[in-house]
């Protein structure tokens, strides 16, 4: 949201019409429960009673931050210039755990100004038996809420269990990508040389892909002409995609017979 405000301020300074600019901020929901529930299951015991609460509490707290940003003096100045607020967009709203209601990530996250991108099964479930309240977010953020576990309390309990989604949200991704690079710790000149070398290699690789795509376009026209069949324009439009696949992902192992293999 801060990046959105920065962009709108720059657009206003450049003389652009802010009323023609719209934006949403995607916020994933159900996959948070998938990750946190797995950690709670490993802890066992009393931690199990927190299953299925992290995602909705996390999204509600994000909405609380959204309201804070878009009621600030900074935003008031942009709104006076015609800007529209960036709307929160709930993504990943299908229920991953069959033990949970199939409409929970929709009916429990109703609030003014939000967008909910539902997959078709979830959309049909909500239309069939969903009970959509006027607002199921802001009442859970109030200190005097009658709800047994409002969002702030849920976050505190998750923190005590060391399963707060905000605290460790990058851990699964770090496991996939490996340890962070340490280029910033290198000597500035060495880091600069490394950056220039990587940029040069990227430029060479980009030129190679462009040349490969051009060759594929020529080959598609030649093949269509010689066989007097096919649609060369369709093949030419896919040349860039095929060049990227051939350059980076599709490799032929000459040591074995048969079609090309994907590695």
The residue that leads in pLDDT, 251 or 74, is 74
Pair 140, 151: CB distance under 8 Å: yes
Q: Give the pLDDT score at 161.
A: 56
Count of other CB atoms within 10 angstroms of residue 145: 15
Q: Give the pLDDT confidence of 70-89 residue by residue, as tens digits.
A: 999 999 999 999 999 999 99
**Is the pTM above the cut of 0.75?**
no
Pair 38, 96: CB distance under 8 Å: no
Instruction: Report CA-CA distances (Å) from 232 to 33, 243, 247.
Output: 48, 16, 22
Average pLDDT in the 101-116 region?
A: 94
Pick the CATH number of 2-177 from 3.40.50.300, 3.30.420.10, 3.30.379.10, 3.20.20.70: 3.20.20.70
The residue that leads in pLDDT, 246 or 114, is 114
Q: Is the pLDDT of residue 163 over 70?
A: no
pLDDT band at 5 (very low <50, low <70, confident <90, very high): very high
Rounded-to-integer distance, Cα 45 and Cα 237, Å: 57
Q: Among residues of the chain, what percentage have pLDDT more than 90?
A: 33
3-class state of residue 89 by DSSP: strand
Biggest alpha carbon distance in the chain?
78
Query: Which of 30-39, 44-53, 107-116 is the least confident region?
Result: 44-53
Q: Give the pLDDT score at 165.
A: 53
């Amino acid at each position: 949201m801060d990046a959105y405000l920065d962009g709108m301020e720059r657009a206003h300074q450049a003389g652009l019409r802010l009323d023609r600019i719209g934006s949403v901020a995607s916020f994933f929901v159900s996959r948070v429960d998938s990750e946190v529930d797995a950690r709670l299951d490993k802890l066992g015991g009393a931690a199990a009673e927190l299953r299925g609460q992290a995602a909705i509490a996390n999204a509600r707290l994000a909405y609380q931050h959204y309201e804070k940003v878009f009621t600030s003096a900074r935003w008031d100045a942009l709104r006076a210039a015609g800007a529209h607020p960036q709307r929160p967009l709930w993504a990943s709203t299908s229920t991953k755990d069959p033990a949970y209601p199939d409409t929970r990530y929709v009916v429990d996250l109703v609030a003014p100004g939000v967008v909910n991108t539902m997959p078709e099964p979830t959309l049909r479930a909500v239309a069939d038996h969903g009970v959509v309240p006027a607002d199921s977010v802001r009442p859970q953020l109030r200190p005097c809420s009658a709800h047994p576990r409002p969002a702030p309390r849920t976050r505190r309990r998750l923190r005590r269990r060391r399963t707060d989604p905000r605290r460790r949200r990058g851990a699964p991704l770090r496991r996939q990508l490996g340890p962070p690079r340490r280029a910033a710790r290198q000597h500035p000149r060495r880091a600069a040389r490394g950056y220039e070398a990587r940029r040069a290699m990227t430029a060479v690789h980009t030129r190679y892909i462009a040349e490969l795509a051009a060759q594929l376009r020529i080959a598609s026209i030649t093949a269509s002409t010689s066989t007097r069949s096919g649609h060369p324009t369709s093949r030419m439009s896919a040349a860039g995609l095929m060049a990227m696949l051939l350059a980076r992902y599709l490799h032929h192992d000459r040591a074995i017979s048969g079609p090309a293999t994907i590695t």
